[in-house]
Every structure is written in structure tokens, then in C-alpha cells.
Structure 1
Amino acid sequence: MIANTRVVLVRPHYAGNVGSVARVMKNFGLNQLTLVSPYADPLSDEARRMSTHGENLLTNAKIVDTFEEAVADCQLVFATSANVEGLYRGSHYGRPDEVLPVFVDSLQTGPSALVFGPEPHGLANAEIAQCHGLIRIITDHEYSSLNLSMAVGICLYELRRQFAQRTANYQTPPSRQIANYASQEEMFRHLRHGLEAIHYVWGTKADLLFHGIRQLIARSNPTPVEVRMLHGLARQMEWVAAQLPPKADDQPSGGE
């Protein structure tokens, strides 16, 4: 089950870090490494030298062009960041021990992803906004930025600890199948279109308002049936909007 964990490195810059991540993944029994538009060469001598028995992870690493492609088939997608300021980051973060229990549960029915940003500046707000949660590792406030492989190691240690605890307790696997990331994203796009059609999501605050709606739904870990239900809601809003006479102006009817 724990092998369903996917480690996603977004635009990694340094080959040594990629190799070190492969090593720590090997330590904790993981084998799904995905690189999004990497600057670093995972097959370089430096990466191999730092991987120590994790060379097969480098050889088999999947390289993709976009974040969406990396996580399309995943159920839960959790980002990591030391920066938790602002609406997109501050509304849904927690420590590894707080966030990872639900992540471990999801692994019983399919893949889920832990996403780590590029070394110079971490993940962008737009990337974090697309995730279902945010992991923050508590560090000293004077220097909060961890080395990439250290951050991966801390998260994977807690993941393994949570997994071992569940195995020891013989917990029954959950019956809920979480809809994969790609189908959720399609639903969110459709839902936003429906909300825009009825002028609930509208104007200068549209992005922030829909982000809140998105996080509310994402926290429920919607099933495929629930995703289809939300598609139906979006279609109904589109139908209602089409029946209404044109508005005299573009002022929103709600949501602000």
C-alpha cells in the first residue's frame, strides 16, 4: 500500500538533490519518482553518486512537462512549503503528523502524491492552489527553508510511521474511493463555469472566492459519484443562466 505514494519534484535544479531524494525514497520503500520539467539530469554522475542504492529510481523516474500530468491519476495531492502566508497557503496547511493520516488512508485505494518545489523558491501559489492540502515542517523562524532531500526525508519518515501504526492496529481499509486528480480538476473547471454563469463567482474577487469553494470541496475527498453530482450541479446552473434575460449591466448577483 505505501508503494502507492508518488514523490513529485517540480523543476528540481540540482542533480545531487535528486539523487538524495532517490536514496531516501529507497530507505522508506517507495519507488514512484516523478520529475516535472527538471533542470537537473537524474542520470548524471552526481545524481547517481548521491542516490546510494537508489539508482533504479533514477533510471525509472517519470519525466513530464506539467504539474497536472504528474498527478492526473492521483487521489490526494499534498504540497509542501515553509511559506504559509496568504490566502492560498494559510487556509489549509498542517504539520506532517496532522496532514498525513488521511493521505495514508487514501493509499489503500490508489496513488496519491507528495509534491516538492524547486530549490531556489519552492512551489508557486498557483501550484499550491491546485493541491488538496499543504504540509509545513516546523523549523526555526530565522531560517525555515530546508534542503529538498531533508524535507522529503522528514515527510517520508512520518508517512512510514503512520503506515506502520495502521498496520499494527489492523485498521479496516476505507470503503470510499476518492476521485482522481484529473477528474476533480475537470469538475472544478465545470463548476466554476456554472458559478460564473449565474454571477456568483464574478468580479475582482472571483479567484479568491472560488479558491475557498475549491478547498471546501477538496477537504471532503469527493468520490467519483460525488464528482458526477457536482457536474450535474454545474450543468443545472448553466441551464438556469441560459433561461434568464440578459442583465442590464455586468454587476454580480452574489458572491462578493
Structure 2
Amino acid sequence: MSLANVRVVLVRPHYAGNLGSAARVMRNFGLADLVLVAPFARPTDLEARRLATHGLPVLDAARIVPDLGDALADCSLTLATSSLTAGVARRGMIGPAAEMMPKLLGAAAAGPVGLVFGPEPHGLSNDEIGRCNGLVHIPVAPEFPSLNLAQAVAVCCYELRKAYSAAATVANPADTHAPKVASHAEQERMFEHLREAFTAVGFLFGGRADSLMHAVRQFLGRANPTPQDVKLMHGLARQLLFAAGKTPHRGEPET
């Protein structure tokens, strides 16, 4: 089992010091894949480099992308982080870092996975959280629940390393015959197709459409759908659109 497939994604980070500190702590715990989504702070900022110390290789290798979807396109499991756990977008697969990091590590055995952190001023939006498969929260004092970005990265990386160390002591090797999970991009196309079909037949309607679709995403996401499962869902959506008299969707793969 390897940590090489675990990707840390920082969405719109504002402060260069947090970039450097996050890169350093990633190096401390054996992670190397850092992606920045539309950052305000840059890896070349002096403060970022000053605080990175021995994490400079991680900082220098960081990739910058314009959108969260670009950062997670090849990931099979994605976990958002937030201090807030109430609301429709925060339902589904949710738990503390100590509980969720083993799940992330397990999925990393089959391919890339993503751990997503929001910007310092306000964290991830509901839409960004909804695009991930689950949610990580760090139990803290309720009167002051907001952690510094780099500190949140440190806690999650620590729990991930603990899970990795525990798995390394287990005699049984990882199951190399586990089915491949569809990528984030493949799942997003599936959800887009299903939303179109569900709307056409009247399952999604009015003010409840977003919450119903969120429930569908969580339900299917927990199943870790394979590429074949995704094709099956595209077939369902195509037939629903046909029954509703709508033009077939053109984005699904061939069955």
C-alpha cells in the first residue's frame, strides 16, 4: 500500500505561508502530490518558500489548475474537509479524520484519490463539497471550530500516516483483484446524464431537485462504481430520456 496516490488539493489558498507549511507537512508524512486550484498565493512567493523548508520539492512540483474538476478528474475517491457538518450538502459519507483516512488509503491502492481543503476565509462551498464523495471533519472545541489551513492539512496527513503504518504491519497483502473504480471525470459525466434523465421524467423537480440529486450522488458514490457500473447508469439514463421523448444524451460511453 502506497501514499503516492494520495493527492492534497488546496482550493483558492490565500496565504503563501500556508502553502509552504502544507508542503512541509506533506513531506513529513510521506506525501508528494500537491494541486492548487485557482490559488491567490503562489508557490514562488518568498513566504511560501521560507516556511516549506525541506518541503520545497513538494512545493516546486505543485500543479496549478483552474477548477476543482481538473484537480480530481482521475481520482476514484474524493474527500472534502469542513468544520461544518450541518446541511444537505454535508450529508452522506462523513466522519472524523481518524475514521475517514483509512477509507481514503484503501481506495488509493487502486489509483489516485483526493483530499480537498478550502480557502482560509470561508472554506469550501456547498457545491464544492457536493462534488466530492465524502466529508472529513476534525473534532474541535465548538466555541472555536475553524482550524488554520496548514494545521488541518497536518491533522489529516498525520491520520493518513497512522493508517498507512497500521496497514504496513498487517501480514495479508492488499487485494490486487479489487475491481477498478471509475474516475471522478467518468462519474461526473454519469451524474450529469442521470440528472438530465431524472429531470425529463419528473423525478427532479422544483426546490427539491438539488437535494434529491445530492442524495443520488451520495448513494452511488458510496458504492464505488466501476467503469461498467457507470456504463449501466448511462444506459438507464438513455432509456429514461427515450421514454420521455427527449433527444439522447451524447456524452456517455459506448455500451
Q: TM-score range by the shorter chain?
A: over 0.9
Partner of 1:249 in structure 2? Answer: none
Which letter maps to 2:123?
G
Which stretch has the larger CA shift, 157-166 or 132-141?
157-166
Please, what TM-score do these two structures have when normalized by structure 2? 0.93
Tell me the number of residue pairs that the alignment of Structure 1 and Structure 2 aligns: 243
Distance 1:107 1:90 in 2: 23
Which letter maps to 1:241?
A
Which letter maps to 2:200?
A
- How far has the Cα of 1:173 moved from its partner? 2.4
Match of 1:115, SS state, is strand
Bigger radius of gyration among the two: 1
Which stretch has the larger CA shift, 16-25 or 91-100?
91-100
Which letter maps to 2:34?
L
Partner of 2:66 in structure 1? Answer: 65
Distance 1:167 1:186 in 2: 36
CA distance change for structure 1 residues 139 and 56 in 2, over 3 Å: closer, same or farther?
Answer: same
Match of 1:242, SS state, is coil
Distance 1:218 1:90 in 2: 12
- How far has the Cα of 1:204 moved from its partner? 1.8
Distance 1:192 1:41 in 2: 37
- How far has the Cα of 1:170 moved from its partner? 3.2
Structure 1 residues 83-122: aligned runs within 5 Å: 83-122=84-123
User: Runs of 4 or more off by more than 4 Å in structure 1?
Assistant: none
Partner of 1:251 in structure 2? Answer: none
Return 5+ residue gaps in structure 1 as ranges. Answer: 244-256
From 183, 194, 198, give the equivalent of 1:195.
198
Distance 2:91 2:105 in 1: 23
Identity of aligned residues (%): 47
- How far has the Cα of 1:104 moved from its partner? 0.9
- How far has the Cα of 1:194 moved from its partner? 1.0
Partner of 2:29 in structure 1? Answer: 28
- Deviation string for 1:38-79 (max 9, x for gaps)? 000111111011001111111111001001001101111100
- How far has the Cα of 1:171 moved from its partner? 3.7
1:242 equivalent to 2:245? Answer yes
Alpha-carbon contact 2:20-2:50 (below 8 Å) kept: yes
Distance 2:232 2:174 in 1: 25
Alpha-carbon contact 2:35-2:62 (below 8 Å) kept: yes
Structure 1 residues 203-214: aligned runs within 5 Å: 203-214=206-217
Distance 2:240 2:152 in 1: 43
Please, what TM-score do these two structures have when normalized by structure 1? 0.92
- How far has the Cα of 1:133 moved from its partner? 0.3
Distance 2:31 2:206 in 1: 45
Distance 1:144 1:32 in 2: 27
Which letter maps to 2:5?
N
Distance 1:133 1:157 in 2: 19
Q: CA RMSD in A?
A: 1.1
Partner of 2:124 in structure 1? Answer: 123
Return 5+ residue gaps in structure 2 as ranges. Answer: 247-255
